[in-house]
Chain A
Amino acid sequence: MKNLKHTLTLFFLVLISTFGIAQQRKANKDTEAWRYEIEAVQTGTQGTYLIKVWSYSKKPEIAAEQSKKNAIHGIIFKGFPGKAGVPGQSPLTNNSNLEEEKADFFKSFFTDGGKYMKFVSLSNDGAVAAEDRMKIGKEYKIGVIVSVNVAELRKDLENSGVIKSLTSGF
């Protein structure tokens, strides 16, 4: 009887963790498929962008955590539109094939807990305002405000030879 209990507990634990991993994988696929939205919040301090990232997941916590990855992904490849008083920003690269050309670099850069984490931080400890948590069908759409250290991110990508610097060629 005791053995059965242990086995069942173990089984549920494995099931829960598998479900978590599956959710995370789904979130990563969403990032790769550009399934996120970025909007300007206000002009950040020197070298930073303050943006709100909308991410999707069945688990609100995963959506909030994925926002960091989406923020960096968006700033490198997508840019974001502005709003009244705050201009939008262009992506760090204008090469639309960069993600495929440097696939190996970005694979390790965007692994869970990867280097991208160095350049992004959650504002207000990741607290999500009530109006930024929406249930759409079976999943949540979560808006999280993050600050991205774009100056350091750009420098890192330039030093790695992923993007060109303003002075390259001179």
Chain B
Amino acid sequence: MKKILLILTLFLSISETNAQAKKPTIMVVPSDVWCNQRGYMLEFYNQGSIVKVPDYKTALQENSNLLIAISKINELMATRGFPLKNLESALKSLESESAEDAMLSSKTSGASVVESPIDKLKKTAKADIIIQITWNVNTMGPKHSVTFNLQGLDAYTDKQIAGASGTGSELIGSNLPVMLETAVLSHMDNFNTQLMSHFDDMFANGREITLRLKKWDSFKGDFETEYGGDELGNQIDNWVKNNTVKGRYSATDTTENMMLFEQVRIPLYDGSGKAIDAKGWAKGLQKYLKDTYKIDSKLMTKGLGQASIVVGEK
């Protein structure tokens, strides 16, 4: 019996030490300004005003220099053990997935796949960290140089977590692909150094996420209604305080109908040593509301770092 217990303890401790944090996905995209300068934009009329969004598909189909820059960054990141999500492949996967969903029906009853408007909205090429690239060619007589800018953006906190930029040497007779390749080579190591500092900070102080709370209009109370001797908003605030790393978070906006928590530092692992993300962590709050105050809620997440809870019902 003792032996079995010993083996079990050993197994548990090994699996706990081997727990790996959830790895963020990274994707390289051209910046909006780069797309706009080259006319790779789609225009929409939205309630009377014109909205421009980048047209990545056309940009990738028509601009071979973009492909060179993305491919070089992907290649260098892969050599560092961090293969990236490829924008072009992600767009193609989305297209084929939509086509397949439209044609899909069950074998027994012929039922089709259910897709809500929010599901449709979420069907975009996305990653946890976006590397945004921009370049411009500067011409001074026969001399050319490239001004290059790389920005690593956290998709959930909107923070720039890494960056590298600069203008390369002025060259005569050099072509753009060569200048671009040189720019990528000279900036990637510095970019990765900053990315690593971001990961170090994450391991030391927890993953930074955003948490939003809203209420259904069918919910009889609101965040100012008293539950357990205090307002619901304060009870939630206390739960967040007790469940963040070193109690780090900012309650940015609070009204009777919504709450916004930013810079919420959540632990990378739960009590059992299992790696968690925003979803795993916010499920705790959902369970707390249900168990303590009998409030049902709907939990929606975006990637590793954004969670929304709508209280009142599922």
- Interface residues of A, Cβ cutoff 8 Å to B: 42-47, 82, 84-90, 94, 150-151, 164-167, 169-170
Q: Is the Cβ of B81 less than 8 Å from the Cβ of A85?
A: no
With both beta carbons as reference points, the residue of chain A lying nearest to B77 in the complex is identified as: A166
Q: Is the Cβ of A166 less than 8 Å from the Cβ of B192?
A: yes
Is B125 part of the binding interface, using a Cβ–Cβ cutoff of 8 Å?
no
Q: Is the Cβ of B189 less than 8 Å from the Cβ of A150?
A: yes
With both beta carbons as reference points, the residue of chain B lying nearest to A168 in the complex is identified as: B199
Q: Is the Cβ of B169 less than 8 Å from the Cβ of A87?
A: no
- Looking at the assembled complex, report how far the CB atom of A167 sits from the nearest CB atom of chain B, in whole angstroms: 4
Q: Is the Cβ of A85 less than 8 Å from the Cβ of B168?
A: yes
Q: Is the Cβ of A43 less than 8 Å from the Cβ of B81?
A: no
Q: Which of B161-194 contact A (CB under 8 A)?
A: 164, 166-170, 182, 185-187, 189-190, 192-193
With both beta carbons as reference points, the residue of chain A lying nearest to B190 in the complex is identified as: A90
Cα–Cα distance between A166 and B76 once the two chains are bound (Å): 12
Q: Is the Cβ of A86 less than 8 Å from the Cβ of B81?
A: no
- Looking at the assembled complex, report how far the CB atom of B78 sits from the nearest CB atom of chain A, in whole angstroms: 11
Q: Is the Cβ of A90 less than 8 Å from the Cβ of B189?
A: yes
Cα–Cα distance between A89 and B79 once the two chains are bound (Å): 18
Q: What are 9 pairs between A and B in contact, CB < 8 Å?
A: A43-B168, A43-B182, A84-B169, A85-B167, A87-B166, A150-B189, A166-B199, A170-B21, A170-B23
Cα–Cα distance between A85 and B21 once the two chains are bound (Å): 38
Residue B185 contacts which of A43, A88, A94, A164 (CB distance < 8 angstroms)?
A43
- Looking at the assembled complex, report how far the CB atom of B71 sits from the nearest CB atom of chain A, in whole angstroms: 13
- Looking at the assembled complex, report how far the CB atom of A26 sits from the nearest CB atom of chain B, in whole angstroms: 32
Residues of B within 8 A of A44 (CB): 185
- Looking at the assembled complex, report how far the CB atom of B304 sits from the nearest CB atom of chain A, in whole angstroms: 11
Nearest 10 Cβ contacts at the A-B interface: A85-B169, A170-B23, A43-B186, A167-B81, A90-B193, A166-B80, A43-B182, A87-B166, A87-B186, A169-B203
Q: Is the Cβ of A89 less than 8 Å from the Cβ of B189?
A: yes
Q: Is the Cβ of A46 less than 8 Å from the Cβ of B185?
A: yes
Cα–Cα distance between A166 and B192 once the two chains are bound (Å): 8
Cα–Cα distance between A166 and B83 once the two chains are bound (Å): 11
Interface of A is mostly: loop
- Looking at the assembled complex, report how far the CB atom of A32 sits from the nearest CB atom of chain B, in whole angstroms: 24
Residue A94 contacts which of B22, B82, B197 (CB distance < 8 angstroms)?
B197
Given contacts A43-B182, A43-B186, A46-B185, contact A167 B169 (CB under 8 A): no
Is B145 part of the binding interface, using a Cβ–Cβ cutoff of 8 Å?
yes
Cα–Cα distance between A86 and B146 once the two chains are bound (Å): 12
With both beta carbons as reference points, the residue of chain A lying nearest to B19 in the complex is identified as: A169
Q: Is the Cβ of B189 less than 8 Å from the Cβ of A169?
A: no
Is B260 part of the binding interface, using a Cβ–Cβ cutoff of 8 Å?
no
With both beta carbons as reference points, the residue of chain A lying nearest to B20 in the complex is identified as: A170
Residues of A within 8 A of B76 (CB): 46
* Chain B 44-63 interface 0/1 with A at a Cβ cutoff of 8 Å (1 = within): 00000000000000000000
Residues of B within 8 A of A85 (CB): 145, 167-170
Q: Is the Cβ of A166 less than 8 Å from the Cβ of B81?
A: yes
Is B195 part of the binding interface, using a Cβ–Cβ cutoff of 8 Å?
yes
Residues of A within 8 A of B21 (CB): 169-170
Residue A87 contacts which of B80, B164, B199 (CB distance < 8 angstroms)?
B164
Q: Which of B77-131 contact A (CB under 8 A)?
A: 79-82
Q: Which of B216-247 contact A (CB under 8 A)?
A: none
Given contacts A85-B167, A85-B170, A87-B187, contact A167 B193 (CB under 8 A): no
With both beta carbons as reference points, the residue of chain A lying nearest to B145 in the complex is identified as: A85
- Looking at the assembled complex, report how far the CB atom of B63 sits from the nearest CB atom of chain A, in whole angstroms: 22
Residues of A within 8 A of B164 (CB): 87
Cα–Cα distance between A104 and B166 once the two chains are bound (Å): 39
Q: Is the Cβ of A86 less than 8 Å from the Cβ of B186?
A: yes
Residues of B within 8 A of A90 (CB): 189-190, 193
Residues of B within 8 A of A165 (CB): 80-81
Residues of A within 8 A of B81 (CB): 165-167
Is B7 part of the binding interface, using a Cβ–Cβ cutoff of 8 Å?
no
Cα–Cα distance between A123 and B203 once the two chains are bound (Å): 41
Q: Is the Cβ of B23 less than 8 Å from the Cβ of A167?
A: yes
Cα–Cα distance between A165 and B78 once the two chains are bound (Å): 12
Cα–Cα distance between A90 and B164 once the two chains are bound (Å): 12
